[in-house]
Amino acid sequence: MADSTNSYDGPVLEIEDLCLSYFTRAGEIPAVVDFSATLAPGESIGLVGESGCGKSTVAMAIMRYMGGNGDIVGGTVKFKGRDMATLSDEELRHIRGSEIAMIYQEPMAALNPSLTIGSQLMEVPMTHDGATKGEAHKLAVQMLDDVHLPDPERVMDAYPHQISGGQQQRVVIAMALLSSPSLLLLDEPTTALDVTVEAGIVELIAELSKKFNTSLLYISHNLGLMLEVCDRICVMYSGEVVEEGHIDSIFSWPKHPYTHGLFGCIPLPHADKNARPLKAIRGQLPLPHERPAGCYFGPRCDFFEAGTCDQESVRMSEVITDDDPAHRVRCKLWNSIDHDKAIPMGDAKPPAEIGETILEVDAMQKYYEVRDTSMAAMISGAGVRHVKANEEITFRAGRGETVAIVGESGCGKSTFAKVLMGLEQATDGEVRMGGVNIGDLPVQQRSPNQLGSLQMVFQNPNDTLNPSLTIGAQIGRVIKKFGVETDPAKIQERVLHLLDVVKLPRDFAIRKPRQLSGGQKQRIGIARAFAGNPAMVIADEPISALDVSVAAAVTELLTDIQRKNQTTLLFISHDLSAVRYLADRVVVMYLGKLMERGTTDQVFSPPYHPYTEALLSAVPIADPEVEKRRIVLEGNLPSVLNPPKGCPFSTRCQRRIGDICDNVPPPVQFNTDRHGIACHIPMEDLRKVEPVIKVTDKHSGPADISPVV
Amino acid sequence: MRALKSFALLRESTPGMVGAGLVLFWVIVAILAPLIAPFDPLATLQPMAKPGTVYAQGGTFWLGTDHLGRDILSRIMYGSQTVLFYAPLATLCAYTLGIMMGLAAGYHLGWWDIVLSRISDIILSFPVLVLYIIIIATIGSSGINIIIAITFASAPGIMRIVRGLVLDLRNRDYVAAAQTRGESSMFIMLVEILPNARGPLIVDACLRLGYVIITIGVLGFLGLGLPPPDPDWGGMINETRKMAMIFPHMTVFPVLAISSLILGFNLLADGLREVSLRD
C-alpha cells in the first residue's frame, strides 16, 4: 500500500463487505448488508434502487458521517488504500470536502442563503489549500466558468436566491470540484430539477469528471439517467446489492428477477397501455426488521422456489454467460430462469373507445394581477402588472379519452387545473363541460352535479388525505356528498367496494392515513376521486412522488378504472415517458402558452415544435437500444412577470430563425386537422426534422417509436 | 385512542411525568379538599400560629395560621379549587374565541383577516396588566369577570397561533379536495383544518394554562380577584405580605402552591412537545 496519496495509483475507493445499521428504540435495524464495490480513478459507478434500499446510507458511510444513531457494524471502506476506520477526526475532516466531495439533491439547501456565492466558493481553497483571498477569487471565477455559468463575476456577487435552481446546482458542483476531489458522491443531483435543466447538468458532470479525472458515485432512482452517466451500476434492494455489472450487461442481459421487474415498471418507448401495459412488482418492500429469511426479494418474486430461496442468505455469484467479468447477481436460480421471457409484461387490453366531446377549452386565459406599490412604480404608472399563467389555451377532450398536459415547472399546467376545478376563475375565454361554461364559475357556485362530474387526484400522497380522519370516513363523505348513496349501510358497502377496486384490503377503511405507505395513500386518493362516478378526472402529477414499481401499479390502476368507467382523464405531468405511455392526446405548454397539441403519435414524431423536440431529447430513456439526438437547451426559463414579447421559447430555442421570434407571437400552424404547432418556422421545414428517438432494434432494424393508438 | 398513546409515550419523558404528577397532585387535592382539610378555611381560630402549633380544641396547624387566625393548609387546599376551576375554564373560553378568530382570519383571508388581525394587534399593544386592571375596574371583580378579562386578553395571542397554522394547512391537497366536492367553509375549517392543528395547540394550551394561573394569582394579589373571604392563593399572599418578614410561613406556602402548579403545567407542556416531536 502506498502511503503518499500523490503517488497512489490503485483504485480510489474499495468497499468490502460493508454492513451498516441504525440503532433505534426498536433495536438494531440493518440498513445495508454486505456491500462491496471498487472504484477506479475516473470511473463512474451508479447505485440505483427504490427509496429505503440504503443507497444514501452507503454514501454517508463512505464519508463516515452516519449521524447519531448509525454505525458501521462490519466490513471496511478504503479510500486510496487507507482504511477510513483508522483515520482520526482531524484526518477525516481534511478528506471530507477536499478529497471526497458530495452533491445533494436540493441545491438551495446546500448553499447558505445569507452569504454571497463568491464567499462560499472562496472558502473552499482558503480552508483546504491555504490559498490567499486573491488566489481563491481567481480559482472560484475560473471554476464558475468551467461549469458554464454566464458572467461568473456577477454570479460571484450574487446571493443564492438570486439565481435559478439549475444555476444553483451548477454552483454546488463548482464548489465540490474546487478542491479537485478524487471522488465525487452525487445523491440524486438532478431529481429536483426540470428535465431540460437536468440534461444540461448531466452533460456538465460527465464533461467535468473527464476533465478532472474524478471518480463518480452516482445515486439515483432513475434508470434512464444511469444509462447516460455511469460505467457500472449496482442495483440495490432492501439494503443489498442484488445485481451489479457493466451498464451494457445490466441493461441488455439483466439476470435478477428484481432488475427484470424494474424494467417492466418503466414506461419505455415500446410500452403501450393497450398492447404492452406495464407490470408492477407485486407486494411491497419489506420493512428492515421484517425481511424474510433467505432471499429478501423472495415473497415478490415470480421464480420463487420454496426450499431454495427461503433458506440461508444468498451470496453474490458471478454471471458467466456473458463476457462481463464484473457482472454478479444475488440469485440462486439465475441460471435456470429463462431471461428472454423474464421481463414481465401485463396482459394486453382492448383500447378504450373515445366518445363524444366532454370538455372544450376555448382560448382560455388566466392572468394574475401583481400590484407593485413602490413609489417608482406609481410614478411610472406601472403599478399593476399581469402574470400570464395561461394564455389562449384551446383543446378538446372526449369521453374515455386521456389528454396529457406536459410542461416544465412554471408553465401554468397546475393553474389550468385550478381553473377547471373552480378554485380559480378564468380571466377570459371559455371552459365548457357538457356544453356549460364553467371557466368563471367558482366552486361554491357549482351544482353538486357539476362538482361530482369533475374530480381530482393530487400529486403529494402525504398531503392528499386528511391525517385526522379514517380512510372509510373520507371516502364515505364523498359518496354521501355527491348523493351516490344516502343510507349509511349502503355507503359503507360502497366504500368497501371501492377499496376492492383499488386493490387494498377492506380493513383499511378503519385505518388512519399515517398507517399507509405513499402508494397506498395515492390509491385511496384515486378511490376518492372515482367515488362520485365522475365524468372527468384531473390527475395532477399523480405518480411523480412515487417509486418506479409503485408508480407502475398506480398508473395501471388509474387506466383500468378509467377504461372501465369510460372516464375522461386529464393527466398533468412533466414526465414525457409516462405521457407517451398513457395519453391519447398531448398538449405541450411553455410559460403559460400552448406550444403544440395533437395525438400522442403526432406530438412524439416530426414535425415537432422545437420545444417538444428539446423536451423529448432531454428525457433519459432506460433502453440501450434507443438512439437519441442530444439537444441541450441554453439559458433559463424566463420570468413569468416579464415574458419575451414574441414566442415565449425564443430565448432558449435551438431553431430560432431571427428577430421575428423575439417580437411577433407565433401563429398556430396546423399539420393535420387537430395537430397544431405554434411556431414561425414554416411547416415544410419542421416536417424535415429528423426524429429525436430511434430504436435500433436487433430484430426489426431502425424504426420510429410511436405508440400504437 | 391517540390520546391514550400520547400518554403512554409521555412516560418516556421525565419532565413530562414530573409535570403530570404535580398537576395530578393538585387536582386530587382540589377534589378531596372538603374531606382532607383539617379545618374550616374561613373560621378564625388562633391568630398568627407558627407551623406545627397544636390547636387547643384538637388538631394541628401544620402550616400555621394567618393574621386572622385561619388555618393556612386548609385555605391552600380550598384555594386550589378556585384556581383549578377558573384557570381551565378561562383558558377554554380564550381558546374557543381565539380558534374561531384564527380560523376565520386564516382561512378566509381578505377582509376577515385584516379586521381580525388589526383588532388583535390593538389588544396586544396594551401591557397585559394594564388591560386587566382596566377591564376589572370597569366591570367589577367576580369569578365570571375574571374569565371575561382573561378571554379578552388572551384570545388575540391564540388567534395569532391558529392563524399561522391555518395559513399552512389551508394549502393542503385534502383541503382542495374538500373544496372541490363543495363542502361549506365551516365544515372545512372545523373538520379538515382544525383537527390537524391540534398538536401545537395542545402544547400551547398547557403553557397558557400556567400563565392563566399566574394571572389569577396576580389579580388576587392586586385585589382584583375573587372578593374575600373566599380562599384565593394570590389574595392570601397579598393579605400577608406586610408580615412576611416576621411570619414568613403565611406567604411562603401559598407562593409554593402557585409555583408548583405552574411548574407542573409547564413541565407537562415540555413533555408533550418532546413526545410530539418524536416520530
Min mean pLDDT across A38-47, A377-386, A469-478 is at: A377-386
Q: Do A443 and B173 touch (CB under 8 A)?
A: no
At A1 the pLDDT is 37
Q: ipTM for the complex?
A: 0.80
Interface test with B, best of A451, A457, A462, A466 (most B CBs within 10 A): A466
Q: Do B174 and A464 touch (CB under 8 A)?
A: yes
Q: Which residues of B touch A467 (CB under 8 A)?
A: 196
Q: Do B180 and A464 touch (CB under 8 A)?
A: no
Q: Do A421 and B172 touch (CB under 8 A)?
A: no
Q: What is the 3-class SS of chain B, one letter each residue?
A: CHHHHHHHHHCCCHHHHHHHHHHHHHHHHHHHHHHHCCCCCCCCCCCCCCCCEECCCCCEECCCECCCCCEHHHHHHHHHHHHHHHHHHHHHHHHHHHHHHHHHHHHHCHHHHHHHHHHHHHHHCCCHHHHHHHHHHHHCCCHHHHHHHHHHHHHHHHHHHHHHHHHHHCCCHHHHHHHHCCCCHHHHHHHHHHHHHHHHHHHHHHHHHHHHHHHHHHHHHCCCCCCCCCCCHHHHHHHHHHHCCCCHHHHHHHHHHHHHHHHHHHHHHHHHHHHHHCC
Interface test with B, best of A468, A480, A521 (most B CBs within 10 A): A468
The chain A residues in contact with chain B (CB within 8 A) are 421-423, 443-444, 446, 448, 451-452, 454-456, 458-460, 463-469, 474, 477-478, 481-482, 528, 532
Find, among A205, A199, A225, A170, the residue nearest to A46 by Cα. A225
Q: Do B173 and A463 touch (CB under 8 A)?
A: yes
User: What's the pLDDT tens digit per position in A108-158?
Assistant: 888 898 999 999 999 888 888 888 889 899 989 988 888 878 788 888 988
At A657 the pLDDT is 86
Distance (Å, whole) CA A232 – CA B9: 47
C-alpha distance from A316 to closest chain B C-alpha (Å):
36
**Arithmetic mean of pLDDT over chain A:** 83
Q: Which residues of B touch A474 (CB under 8 A)?
A: 174
User: Residue B71 has which C-alpha cell?
Assistant: 388555618
Q: From the list A446, A467, A469, which residue is nearest B182 (CB)?
A: A446
Q: Which residues of B touch A478 (CB under 8 A)?
A: 181
At A77 the pLDDT is 87
The chain B residues in contact with chain A (CB within 8 A) are 172-174, 176-177, 179-183, 191-192, 195-196, 198
Angle between helices A195-212 and A165-177 (to 10 degrees): 10
Q: Which residue has the higher pLDDT, A335 or A573?
A: A573
Q: Which parts of chain B register pLDDT below 70?
A: 1-7, 228-229, 277-279
CA torsion through residues A160, A164, A167, A172, sign: positive
At B93 the pLDDT is 95
Min mean pLDDT across A346-350, A471-475, B27-31 is at: A346-350
Does the predicted model carry a pTM greater than 0.95?
Answer: no
C-alpha distance from B8 to closest chain A C-alpha (Å):
15
Q: Which residues of A touch B177 (CB under 8 A)?
A: 456, 458, 464, 528
Tell me which chain A residue has its CA closest to the CA of residue B168. Answer: A463
Find, among A411, A378, A469, A449, the residue nearest to A595 by Cα. A411
User: Residue A347 has which C-alpha cell?
Assistant: 396482459
CB burial of residue A266 (10 Å; 0-12, 13-18, 19+): buried
User: What's the pLDDT tens digit per position in A264-293?
Assistant: 888 887 777 777 788 888 877 787 777 888
Q: Which residue has the higher pLDDT, A351 or A7?
A: A351
Q: Do A478 and B181 touch (CB under 8 A)?
A: yes
At A4 the pLDDT is 42
Q: Which residues of A touch B195 (CB under 8 A)?
A: 466, 468-469
Place of cell 419523558: B13
Q: Which residues of B touch A528 (CB under 8 A)?
A: 177
At A700 the pLDDT is 41
What percent of chain A shows pLDDT beyond 90? Answer: 7
Q: What is the 3-class SS of A619-632, one letter each residue?
A: CCCCCCCEEECCCC
Q: Which residue has the higher pLDDT, A349 or B184?
A: B184
At B2 the pLDDT is 53
Angle between helices B14-36 and B2-10 (to 10 degrees): 100
For the range A683-686, what are the long-range contacts, defined as Cβ-Cβ under 8 Å and sequence gap of 24 or more?
A683/A607, A686/A606, A686/A607, A686/A608, A686/A609
Q: Do B177 and A468 touch (CB under 8 A)?
A: no
Average pLDDT value for residue range A197-208: 84
Chains A & B: contacts with CB separation below 8 Å:
54
Tell me which chain A residue has its CA closest to the CA of residue B184. Answer: A444
Q: From the list A423, A460, A466, which residue is nearest B179 (CB)?
A: A423
Q: Which residues of B touch A422 (CB under 8 A)?
A: 180
Angle between helices B198-221 and B248-277 (to 10 degrees): 170
A454 beta partners: A536
C-alpha distance from B112 to closest chain A C-alpha (Å):
18
CB burial of residue A414 (10 Å; 0-12, 13-18, 19+): middle
DSSP classification of residue A705: -
Average pLDDT value for residue range A188-202: 81
User: Residue B92 has which C-alpha cell?
Assistant: 377554554
Q: Is the pLDDT of residue A707 over 70?
A: no
Tell me which chain A residue has its CA closest to the CA of residue B198. Answer: A468
User: What's the pLDDT tens digit per position in A600-638?
Assistant: 888 888 888 999 988 888 888 888 888 888 888 877 777
Q: From the list A444, A456, A467, which residue is nearest B177 (CB)?
A: A456
